[in-house]
Amino acid sequence: MHETAAINDLDRLTAIFDRISAVGARPGEGVTRLAASAEDGAARAIFAEWMIEGGARIEQDAIGNQFACFDWAGEAAPWVFAGSHLDTQPRGGRFDGAFGVLAAGCAALAMSHDLGTMRFKPACNLAVVNWTNEEGARYQPSLTGSGVFSGALPLERALALRDGVGVELGAALAAIGITGATQNVPPRPKTYVELHVEQGRILNEAGRGIGVVEGTWAARKITASWIGRAAHTGPTPMADRRDALLAAAQGIAGFEAVTAQAYPHLHRSAARLVVEPNSPNVVVERATVWFELRGLDTAELDRAGQAVLALFAKAASDTGTRLEIAADMLRAPAEMDAGLMALVGEAARSAGFEPLIMRSVAGHDAVALQNSGIASALIFVPSVDGIAHHPDEFTHPEDLQAGLSVLESVLRRLVEAPAGQDKKD
Amino acid sequence: MHETAAINDLDRLTAIFDRISAVGARPGEGVTRLAASAEDGAARAIFAEWMIEGGARIEQDAIGNQFACFDWAGEAAPWVFAGSHLDTQPRGGRFDGAFGVLAAGCAALAMSHDLGTMRFKPACNLAVVNWTNEEGARYQPSLTGSGVFSGALPLERALALRDGVGVELGAALAAIGITGATQNVPPRPKTYVELHVEQGRILNEAGRGIGVVEGTWAARKITASWIGRAAHTGPTPMADRRDALLAAAQGIAGFEAVTAQAYPHLHRSAARLVVEPNSPNVVVERATVWFELRGLDTAELDRAGQAVLALFAKAASDTGTRLEIAADMLRAPAEMDAGLMALVGEAARSAGFEPLIMRSVAGHDAVALQNSGIASALIFVPSVDGIAHHPDEFTHPEDLQAGLSVLESVLRRLVEAPAGQDKKD
């Protein structure tokens, strides 16, 4: 371990974290730094400037993923990636994503400092990565940048995604100066490591400082539209109405009732609703709802999905509206790389933390990469009370430091290891 | 009657109606001319130019009501007002409102043409009025301009209303050049006459061309917010969630179920819903719904209102959210002026139409004025299939002509009558 370096790292982390946290922040409302917004552009610029000062070159691919490249081992050497995302939810927290990117940056700077000494002999190059639109707040699906990089999402489809007011992701990226890939985007790495706040209470309740993610839950995401007919809310006879908002309300209420009863251990939500025309005096013509079901067992998600689709169809027929399923996507559960898990566990124990092996309910960029065949590790540090996607999200400095120490230790091992010897088997 | 003038009037009406209908129109999407929008500003300018060409002077009060003034009878003479509104719903129809303003303008131009002849001896001045934000689509409550003019709504409160993105009505008016009252806004009139498309199927089904409105239904309008807590839709334990959208959905579904069962003859709707933050991955923190109940009997609306408020509170307690009633307003039923009704009936019969005495479910500016003590008449012409607040809204030219003839005839009688002799008692 590198006690001194790690302490310096925390000061360094705090300085850059404060700068990035200010971008899109409003008092009492947390941070709003939606993907490809002006705020995202500003955060990217600060990140790039900071990494360039530390000796990196900045590259970016066509979906806007940012790579701060440290060419320590020559063109032929393999790459290690570490990072997360700088975009946030609306009124989101400061730690979610940003901590992982900036901690990786700090680790890279600490390693750079040791370059040419006996303490650090790199056999690989390192890129610190900021993935585009991890959150899926402005554009769905989430994990957009890592999905494109890993091959799961075609670039053209990603660039054509539209936000709530119809702006294509490609156009939004262009508006912040991202109009294509730069010349020397690094190739697929041999390994990817991501450090993230937990967004749940498991570490908190277990009193542990470091979590090693062994895998994630699966998610079924269904976007349903009900289409009725606009009409005056006053004189239009009740029998003539085809009310899309009533259908959506029955859909949301029924979704909760059915799944809570038959599948109580699934996590479930309907959190986005778009209503047209959304005037108090016009019967709603179209209501679109984003539903999620999350669980470990894809067969169960399949059965639950069938049940809710039937219920949505009933809401349509009961209200004289028409149901359209705009999207119905299963995100398979991921199993993280066992060798990397062991390596992270060992680094944690060396730093004095008994790691907790755990599952993540949420998706993360590390999941997209692992599922594409890039060996990936996901390290968690505790969130106080598990608060996530909320301005009150908080992680204590000592937990940040623990995460940073473990990440740096893991990255040193990975970057120093000759190909084929980077895992603890 | 003035057969020739009426035919000329219809040509004149068609010409100006086509110009106004083009403002805010999109193919297949009807007309979107929200109050105090750029489109509203453009329509106001066309209306003003047209009226000035016809000899009017244009005045406007502090809430943006436009008055095209014909000073036929001198400063001391009483005023007659006729008009409606040029704002529309999002993707609304062309006839709703615009027909009444432009028909009144045509009637004024026809009367002006006869000025100085034996056919027209005015004892009153006439103003053709375009009331601000009748629709209540962009700003609630509806009937804003006529409410301020008639004294029911304080000007300061109206100017401070906010639209869905927080823009105050005063600022929106300023953005289209309306920053206060002009010098010579006409005083409260002795009478107001409004011609409007029915927005229901009663005239259609009765095979009648002219409706004389005797009164309106009452309306109870409740705006309810449920406040929960933002959280990640994935890892947050289900027991910890306080989901405002789930509460709103239960509120909307329950509102329909309870009122359909216990008060089946009330018209009811929930047509506007604002969700925050409205991201697929954040449990909704705040959901606000605009509910309406409409009926003849205010005591019944009171009972139904109590029942739904109880149901809303139950939705809050079932979901761990907090209920806030942001608005709860009763619009009393109006009884229109009996003398004016008789006058309209006589004009209709003279023109060959047996008028149908009927009630309006919807509110109109004439209701706001009548309720403030200004004797007001509301004349309906048929809407095909009762379609309203929809691009397919349509009224046949022969029905427009009938309405225009009756309006002009009524206005001639009112403008020519010395004070105190303008009603048929």
- Residue B156 neighbours by CB under 8 Å, 6+ apart: none
Asked if the model's pLDDT at residue B3 lies above 50, the reply is no
∠ CA B92-A281-B337, rounded to 5°? 100
Q: Looking at residue B423, what is its pLDDT?
A: 53
pLDDT, one tens digit per residue, over B85-134 is: 999 999 999 999 999 999 999 999 999 999 989 999 999 999 999 999 99
At B405, is the secondary structure helix, strand, or coil?
Answer: helix
Identity of the residue in A245, A250, A280 whose CB atom sits nearest the CB atom of B140: A280
Residue of B nearest to A387 (CA): B231
Residues of chain A in contact with residue B137, where contact means CB-CB under 8 angstroms, are 277, 279-282
Chain A residue with Cα closest to B315: A253
Q: Please give the average per-residue pLDDT across A318-339, as a whole number.
A: 95
Answer whether B233 sits within 8 Å of A260, measured CB to CB: no
Nearest to residue A390, comparing CAs of A95, A21, A147, A74? A95
pLDDT at A425 over 50: no
Nearest CB among A140, A280, A282 relative to B280 is that of A140
Chain centroid to Cα A75, Å, comes to 30
The band of B9, judged by pLDDT with boundaries at 50, 70 and 90, is confident
Beta-strand relationship, B191-197 and B125-130: unpaired
* Terminal CA-CA length for chain B: 21
**Chain A contact set for B389 (CB, 8 A):** 230-233, 279, 281-283
Report yes or no: B69 and B186 within 8 Å, Cβ to Cβ.
yes
Proportion of chain B in helix, strand, coil states, percent, rounded to 5 = 40, 20, 40
Residue A404 confidence (pLDDT): 97
Nearest Cα neighbor of B417 from B191, B194, B212 is B191
Distances B317 to A53, A258, B236, B320, B357 between C-alpha atoms, Å: 54, 19, 19, 5, 47
Q: State how far the Cα of A297 lies from the Cα of A317, in Å rounded to an integer.
A: 31
Does the structure show a pLDDT above 80 at B39? yes
The C-alpha angle B326, B330, B334, rounded to 5 degrees, equals 150
Q: Using 50, 70 and 90 to split pLDDT, how confident is the model at A419?
A: low
CB contacts, 8 Å: B218 with chain A: none
Tokens of B74: 């001198």
Whether A230 shows a pLDDT value over 50: the answer reads yes
Cβ-defined contact of B235 to A361 (cutoff 8 Å): yes
Of B232, B250, B388, the CB nearest to A231: B388
* A135/B281 CB distance under 8 A: yes
pLDDT at B7 > cutoff 90: no
Confidence class for position B4, pLDDT limits 50, 70, 90: very low
Cβ of A219: how many Cβ atoms within 10 Å? 24
Average pLDDT score, chain A: 95
The pLDDT value recorded for residue A6 is 47
Percentage of the residues of chain B whose pLDDT score is greater than 90:
94
What are A61-75's pLDDT values in tens digits? 999 999 999 999 999
| pLDDT for A423 beyond 60 | no
- Give the gyration radius of chain A's Cα atoms: 23
- CB < 8 Å to A92, chain B: 282
State percent of chain B over pLDDT 70.
96
Parallel, antiparallel or unpaired: strands A125-130 and A79-84? parallel
Rounded to whole angstroms, how far apart are CA atoms A36 and A145? 11
Is the model more confident about A3 or about A16? A16
pLDDT of residue A8: 65
pLDDT per position as a tens digit, B335-352: 999 999 999 999 999 999
Using the predicted structure, report yes or no on whether residue A3 has a pLDDT greater than 50: no
With a threshold of 0.90, tell me whether the complex ipTM lies above it.
Answer: yes
| C-beta separation of A201 from A385 below 8 A | yes
Give residue A383's pLDDT band: very low, low, confident or very high (50, 70, 90). very high
Q: From CA B130, how far away is CA B28, in angstroms rounded? A: 26
Q: How far is CA B335 from the centre of its chain?
A: 17
Provide the phi-psi class of B196: left if phi over 0, else alpha when psi is between -120 and 50, else beta. beta
CA dihedral A273, A275, A279, A284 (to 10 degrees): -130
Tell me the C-alpha distance between B21 and B30, whole Å. 9
pLDDT tens-place string over residues B253-268: 999 999 999 999 999 9
Residue from B198, B233, B258 whose CB has the most chain A CBs within 10 Å, to mutate: B233
Is A390 in contact with B243 (Cβ distance < 8 A)?
no
For the segment A130-168, what is each residue's pLDDT rounded down to a tens digit?
A: 999 999 999 999 999 999 999 999 999 999 999 998 999
Q: Do A281 and B389 touch (CB under 8 A)?
A: yes
For residue B225, give Cα distances in angstroms to A201, A280, B220. 29, 14, 16
pLDDT of residue A418: 74
Q: H helices of A190-230, where?
A: 202-206
Q: Averaged over B35-64, what is the pLDDT?
A: 98
pLDDT digit string, tens, across residues A100-127: 999 999 999 999 999 989 999 999 999 9
Pick from A302, A297, A133: which is nearest to A218 by CA? A297
* Residue of chain B whose Cα is closest to the Cα of A218: B234
pLDDT at B8: 65
Nearest to A281 among B137, B198, B238 (CB): B137
Q: Which residues of B touch A217 (CB under 8 A)?
A: 234
User: SS3 of B355, please?
Assistant: coil
Instruction: Measure the CA–CA gap between A137 and A129, rounded to whole angstroms.
Output: 20
**């390192």: which residue's tokens?**
A126
Strands (E), B31-155: 57-60, 66-70, 79-84, 125-130
CA distances from A60 to A184, A216, B167 (A): 8, 28, 38
Nearest Cα residue in chain B from A286: B271
The whole-angstrom distance between B17's CA and the closest CA on chain A is: 22
Q: Single out the residue of B282, B46, B40, B157 nearest to residue A30, CA to CA.
A: B282
> What is the token pair recorded at B310?
């109880």
Virtual torsion, Cα B73, B75, B78, B79, nearest 10 deg: 80
Subunit contact A271:B256, Cβ cutoff 8 A? no
Q: Which helix (H) or strand (E) holds A9?
A: helix A3-21
Is the Cβ pair A245, B270 closer than 8 Å? yes
Q: Are B356 and B211 in contact (CB under 8 A)?
A: yes
The torsion defined by the Cα of B163, B167, B168 and B171, in degrees rounded to 10, comes to: -140
CA A414 to chain centre: 23
Give the gap in angstroms from C-alpha B8 to the nearest C-alpha of chain A. Answer: 32
Size of interface A-B (CB pairs under 8 A): 239
Contacts of A252 in chain B (CB under 8 A): 245-246, 249
Task: Go through chain B and tell me how many residues it has.
Answer: 425
Nearest Cβ partner for B252 among A249, A260, A362: A249
Full set of structural domains in chain B with CATH = 3-217+333-416 (3.40.630.10), 225-331 (3.30.70.360)
Residue A352 has a pLDDT of 95
Look up residue B115 and give its two tokens. Answer: 């000025």
Structure tokens at B109: 């131009």
